[in-house]
C-alpha cells in the first residue's frame, strides 16, 4: 500500500509540474500584472486588459510608438527600459526630456514596464516609446512643430503616433502631414480635447483615430469634446507615471488617447500584416457599444475593448447587414471607411445625419470599370468607377437631419463583388445674408431688435451688416457660436466715425458689448472669426441685437373705426401700443372675391395680440390671437369683394418694438390660392373639379412640389376609377398606411410595382421616368426596342429606354428644348397632373 501511495504522489507531482509549465508558457507571453500599483489602474479593467494580454499570445513583434508631446522623463524607472531615441524639436541639441509631465503621463499608460516590481503596468509590453518634444514647458505649441514631430516619427520608424494635444484651427499644412503618415502606413491616434465643444485637430482629420473619454460608469465625460469626427472612447481617469520617477492620477481625453495607441500596438504586434487603416477599423468594429446602435457623436463607435480587438476576426465588410434602408449603417458626415459589395445583388445603405442644412460631400473610389451607383433619398444618383478623373466628389444638397445613401453595382449581372473606399465631408449652408463679405456689400437690417443666425461657409468669410437708424436709442450686441472652431469678434462702427472692436473671449466664447447710445445714422456691424481658417466651418454664429429706440406710432390717431388707417395690399404697416387702452384700427378693400391673408409679425414674445375682423357694417367676422411666446399671428379667410376693418389690441402695452401688419389677397381657382397664372392651371382645375386630385389644405395645391409614389398611386386610382385590389406584401406599407387601398388597386392594375428589396417606397419622390412608366402602364404600353433614343441624356442601357421610345413616338412626352429628358429628376405635382389629363382625354 505504501508503494501505491508513492506512485500516486509521483503522478500528482508530475501533473502539477506539467500544469505549471503550461501556465508559465502562457504567462511568459503577456502575464497578468503583479506591479504593486496595478490596483490603482482601474481603467485597465474597463478595457479588459488582462484578457487582452492572454489573447495576445506569445507574439512579440516590437512596435515603436512616438509620443509627440512635452517630452518624456528619460530616467523614469518604469520607462527607462522601453525607450528609443527621439528628438527635441524646440532645442535640437538637447534630449527630449520632459519639463511639464504631460508626455510622461502619456508614455506610462502605453509602455510602463510590466512585472518589474515597480509602479504600474503599461498596456502594451511589446512597445518602445519614441519621445518627441514638440510642446513648451507650459504645454503650448503650434502646428509647425506638431507637423514636424509627426513627420520625424514617420521617417524614423514609428508605427503609431499618439497626439494628446489639439488645435481648433484647420491647416492645409497639417492635413498634408496627416496624409503623409497615412501614405506611409503609420497610424495616428489623437485626443479630441476637453472643452465640451468640437473635436480638435489633428483628431478631426478623417484618417486620425479620434479618442474621447468616458467616466467609470461608462458615460461620456461632459468635458470630452464630441462631434462627427469622434471615433471611439476610452476611460477618462488614469493612474500613470509622473516626472521625477513618481506616479499620479490624471484625467482628460489626453489620457484616453494613449490607451487606444497601446491597444493598437497589441493588435499590430499580433497581426503585423494589417495596414494602418485595418488596425484603425479593427479597433472601431470591436468596441463595446454605449449609446445608439452603431456610431454616435458622443461615444463614436463605443468603448475601447482591447480583448475583443485581439480575438474577433477582422471584418472587411464591417457594416453588414446594411442591405436595406431600415438596416442602414450610421455614418458620420466626416469619416473615411472601406467596405465591400459582396455580389451584384448586394446593396449597402448608409444613414448620415446632417447637423445643419448644407451639402454632403462624398468621395467614392473602387477598382471596377463597371462602377458603383450611388443614390440618395432625394433622388440624386451618381456613378463612380476607376475611369473617373481621380476621386471626384459627389456634392448632394441636404437639409438638417437624416439622409440615406444607397450603393449598388451598376452591372447587376456581374459574378464578383466590388471593394470600395468611401469618404464623407460636410459643407454648411450659405447663409441668407450673402454676398456680404465687404463693407460696401453690407446686408441691410431693419431698425429693431432681432436675432441673426449666420455661417462662415467659405474660406475667409466675414459678414457685414448695416443698421440704418432713424431714431436715437440704445443698443447692445451679443455674439455666440456653437463650435470651438470659431473665435468670435464684433466690429461696430457708425458711418464716418471710429470703429470699436469687441473681442474679450477665445475659441467658442461669447462676446457681449456694453450698452451703447446710438443716434440717427448708418451703423455697420462686422462679424468675423479671429482665426485664419482655410476651410468652411461647420457651425453657426448667433448675433443678437437689442435695440431700444424712442419709437413713435406713425398711424396715430387710429383708435376709432372712422380713424382707421387704409392698408394697401402687400404693404407693411408698423405700430405699437402707448398704453393698455390703446387700440389700432386698419381697413382694407377686397376688389374681388378671394382669399385674404393678414399677417402680424414682430410681436414681442412676452405679449399677446388680438385681431378682430369686421365687414363694412362693422359686423364681426372673426376673432384671433397669437399663441403666447409666438412673435406672429397669421389669419386666412375667404371674403367677398368689399371693404373690411381690422381692430388690433394687446394684453399689455409695448413701445420697445413695432409690430408689423401686412394684408394680401389672392384669387381662388378651384379652391387654390397658388395656381393662378401657373402653366398647369387648367389641368389642375379640371382634375380638381373631377375629384381626381386635391391639395394640402389652407388653399394650397403646391404645383411645383415633388409628388410621392403614394400620392401618384392615389391620383391614378381615382382617375382610372380602379376597384379591384391586391393584398400588399411590401415591408414598408401596412394596412394602416393612408395610401394602402390606392396602392393595392394600382398594383392589381399593374400600374405600379415595388423595389427588388421588397419595399414600395410610398414617401419616396417620384422621378420623371417613374412617372412616365406609371402612365404608360396605365395605357398598357410595354415599350419598344427598335429605334434610337429620343433624348441625348438617355442611352440604350437605361432601364426605361423602351417606354421612353414608345411614349415619345406616340407624342406623350417631349422632354426639354435642349433635347434632354432628365429621367432621374423629381417629377412635380404639376407635371404629373398635366400628363395624367392627357392620358384621361386620349
* Most distant CA pair in the chain, distance: 130
Q: Are 127 and 62 in contact (CB under 8 A)?
A: yes
In 342-481, where do the E strands start and end? 347-354, 358-366, 372-376, 381-384, 394-398, 401-409, 418-428, 443-444, 450-454, 463-469, 473-481
Work out whether strand 463-469 and strand 381-384 pair parallel, antiparallel, or are unpaired. unpaired
Query: Which residue of the set 171, 198, 253, 254 is catalytic?
Result: 254
305 vs 214: CA distance, rounded Å: 13
Q: At how many degrees (to 10) do helices 49-56 and 2-29 cross?
A: 100
Active site annotation includes 69: yes
Active site annotation includes 102: yes
Three-state secondary structure readout of 53-81 = HHHHCCCCCCEEEEEEECCECCCCCCCHH
152 vs 130: CA distance, rounded Å: 10
For the CA atoms of 55, 60, 66, 69, the dihedral, rounded to the nearest 10 degrees, stands at: 60
Query: Which residue of the set 69, 98, 461, 487 is catalytic?
Result: 69
226 vs 296: CA distance, rounded Å: 9
| Cell numbers representing residue 694 in the block | 386635391
Query: Which residue of the set 33, 48, 76, 102 is catalytic?
Result: 102
| Cell numbers representing residue 355 in the block | 447637423
In eight-state DSSP terms, residue 513 is P
**In sequence order, what are the beta bridge partners of 492?**
500, 525
Q: Are 350 and 328 in contact (CB under 8 A)?
A: yes
Measuring CA to CA, how many Å separate 26 from each of 56, 252, 267?
A: 10, 34, 18
Measuring CA to CA, how many Å separate 152 from each of 88, 98, 162?
A: 11, 18, 13
| Cell numbers representing residue 487 in the block | 473665435
| Cell numbers representing residue 53 in the block | 494580454
- What are the start-end ranges of the H helices in 96-203? 102-111, 143-155, 172-183
261 vs 251: CA distance, rounded Å: 16
Query: CA-based Rg of the chain, rounded to a whole angstrom?
Result: 35
Q: With DSSP H G I counted as helix, E B as strand and the rest as coil, what are the percentages for the chain, rounded to 5?
A: 20, 30, 50
Residues annotated as catalytic (active site), given as ranges: 69, 102, 254
Amino acid at each position: 500500500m505504501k508503494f501505491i501511495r508513492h506512485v500516486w504522489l509521483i503522478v500528482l507531482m508530475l501533473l502539477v509540474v506539467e500544469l505549471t509549465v503550461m501556465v508559465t508558457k502562457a504567462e511568459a507571453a503577456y502575464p497578468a500584472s503583479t506591479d504593486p500599483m496595478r490596483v490603482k489602474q482601474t481603467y485597465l479593467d474597463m478595457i479588459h486588459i488582462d484578457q487582452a494580454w492572454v489573447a495576445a499570445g506569445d507574439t512579440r513583434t516590437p512596435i515603436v510608438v512616438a509620443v509627440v508631446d512635452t517630452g518624456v522623463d528619460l530616467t523614469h524607472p518604469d520607462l527607462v527600459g522601453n525607450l528609443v531615441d527621439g528628438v527635441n524639436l524646440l532645442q535640437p541639441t538637447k534630449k527630449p526630456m520632459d519639463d511639464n509631465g504631460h508626455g510622461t503621463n502619456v508614455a506610462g499608460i502605453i509602455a510602463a514596464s510590466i512585472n518589474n516590481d515597480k509602479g504600474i503596468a503599461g498596456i502594451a509590453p511589446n512597445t518602445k516609446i519614441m519621445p518627441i518634444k514638440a510642446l513648451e514647458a507650459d504645454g503650448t505649441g503650434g502646428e509647425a512643430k506638431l507637423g514636424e514631430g509627426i513627420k520625424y516619427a514617420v521617417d524614423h520608424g514609428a508605427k503609431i503616433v499618439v497626439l494628446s494635444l489639439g488645435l481648433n484651427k484647420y491647416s492645409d499644412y497639417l492635413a498634408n502631414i496627416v496624409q503623409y503618415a497615412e501614405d506611409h502606413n503609420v497610424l495616428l491616434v489623437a485626443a479630441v480635447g476637453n472643452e465640451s465643444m468640437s473635436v480638435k485637430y489633428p483628431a478631426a482629420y478623417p484618417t486620425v483615430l479620434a479618442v474621447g473619454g468616458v467616466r467609470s460608469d461608462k458615460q461620456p465625460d461632459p468635458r470630452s469634446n464630441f462631434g462627427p469626427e469622434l471615433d471611439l472612447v476610452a476611460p477618462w481617469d488614469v493612474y500613470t507615471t509622473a516626472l521625477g520617477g513618481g506616479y499620479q492620477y490624471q484625467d482628460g481625453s489626453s489620457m484616453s488617447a494613449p490607451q487606444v495607441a497601446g491597444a493598437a500596438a497589441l493588435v499590430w504586434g499580433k497581426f503585423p500584416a494589417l495596414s494602418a487603416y485595418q488596425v484603425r477599423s479593427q479597433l472601431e468594429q470591436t468596441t463595446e457599444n454605449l449609446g445608439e446602435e452603431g456610431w454616435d457623436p458622443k461615444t463614436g463607435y463605443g468603448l475601447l475593448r482591447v480583448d475583443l480587438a485581439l480575438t474577433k476576426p477582422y471584418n472587411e465588410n464591417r457594416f453588414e447587414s446594411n442591405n436595406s434602408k431600415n438596416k442602414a449603417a450610421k455614418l458620420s458626415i466626416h469619416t473615411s471607411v472601406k467596405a465591400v459589395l459582396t455580389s451584384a445583388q448586394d446593396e449597402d445603405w448608409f444613414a448620415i445625419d446632417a447637423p445643419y442644412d448644407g451639402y454632403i460631400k462624398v468621395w467614392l473610389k473602387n477598382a471596377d470599370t463597371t462602377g458603383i451607383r450611388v443614390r440618395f433619398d432625394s433622388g440624386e444618383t451618381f456613378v463612380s468607377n476607376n475611369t473617373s478623373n481621380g476621386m471626384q466628389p459627389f456634392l448632394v444638397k441636404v437639409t438638417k437631419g437624416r439622409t440615406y445613401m444607397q450603393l449598388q453595382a451598376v452591372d447587376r449581372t456581374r459574378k464578383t463583388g466590388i471593394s470600395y473606399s468611401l469618404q464623407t465631408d460636410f459643407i454648411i449652408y450659405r447663409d441668407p445674408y450673402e454676398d456680404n463679405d465687404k463693407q460696401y456689400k453690407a446686408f441691410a437690417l431693419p431698425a429693431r431688435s432681432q436675432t441673426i443666425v449666420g455661417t462662415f461657409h467659405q474660406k475667409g468669410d466675414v459678414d457685414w451688416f448695416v443698421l440704418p437708424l432713424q431714431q436715437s436709442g440704445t443698443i447692445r450686441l451679443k455674439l455666440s457660436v456653437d463650435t470651438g472652431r470659431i473665435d468670435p469678434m464684433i466690429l461696430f462702427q457708425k458711418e464716418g466715425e471710429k470703429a470699436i472692436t469687441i473681442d474679450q473671449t477665445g475659441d467658442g466664447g461669447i462676446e457681449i458689448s456694453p450698452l451703447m447710445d446710438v443716434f440717427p445714422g448708418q451703423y455697420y456691424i462686422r462679424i468675423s472669426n479671429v482665426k485664419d481658417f482655410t476651410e468652411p466651418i461647420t457651425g453657426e454664429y448667433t448675433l443678437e441685437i437689442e435695440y431700444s429706440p424712442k419709437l413713435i406710432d406713425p398711424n396715430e390717431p387710429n383708435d376709432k373705426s372712422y380713424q382707421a388707417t387704409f392698408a394697401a395690399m402687400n404693404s407693411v404697416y408698423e405700430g405699437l401700443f402707448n398704453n393698455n387702452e390703446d387700440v389700432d384700427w386698419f381697413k382694407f378693400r377686397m376688389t374681388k372675391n378671394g382669399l385674404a391673408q393678414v399677417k402680424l409679425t414682430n410681436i414681442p414674445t412676452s405679449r399677446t395680440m388680438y385681431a378682430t375682423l369686421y365687414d363694412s357694417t362693422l359686423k364681426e367676422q372673426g376673432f384671433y390671437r397669437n399663441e403666447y411666446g409666438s412673435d406672429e399671428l397669421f389669419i386666412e379667410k375667404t371674403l367677398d369683394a368689399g371693404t373690411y376693418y381690422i381692430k388690433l389690441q394687446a394684453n399689455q402695452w409695448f413701445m420697445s418694438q413695432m409690430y408689423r401688419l401686412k394684408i394680401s389677397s389672392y384669387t381662388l381657382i378651384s379652391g387654390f390660392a397658388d395656381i393662378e397664372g401657373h402653366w398647369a392651371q387648367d389641368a389642375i382645375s379640371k382634375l380638381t373639379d373631377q375629384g381626381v386630385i386635391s391639395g394640402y389644405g389652407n388653399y394650397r395645391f403646391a404645383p411645383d412640389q415633388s409628388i410621392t409614389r403614394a400620392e401618384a398611386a392615389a391620383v391614378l386610382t381615382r382617375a382610372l376609377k380602379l376597384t379591384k385590389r391586391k393584398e400588399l406584401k411590401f415591408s414598408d406599407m401596412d394596412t394602416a398606411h393612408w395610401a394602402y387601398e390606392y396602392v393595392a388597386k394600382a398594383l392589381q392594375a399593374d400600374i405600379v410595382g415595388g423595389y427588388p428589396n421588397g419595399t414600395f417606397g410610398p414617401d419616396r419622390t417620384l422621378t420623371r421616368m417613374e412617372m412616365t412608366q406609371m402612365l404608360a402602364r396605365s395605357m398598357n404600353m410595354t415599350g419598344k426596342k427598335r429605334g434610337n433614343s429620343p433624348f441625348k441624356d438617355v442611352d440604350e442601357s437605361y432601364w426605361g429606354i423602351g417606354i421612353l421610345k414608345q411614349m415619345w413616338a406616340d407624342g406623350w412626352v417631349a422632354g426639354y428644348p435642349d433635347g434632354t429628358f432628365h429621367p432621374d429628376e423629381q417629377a412635380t405635382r404639376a407635371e404629373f397632373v398635366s400628363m395624367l389629363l392627357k392620358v384621361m382625354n386620349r
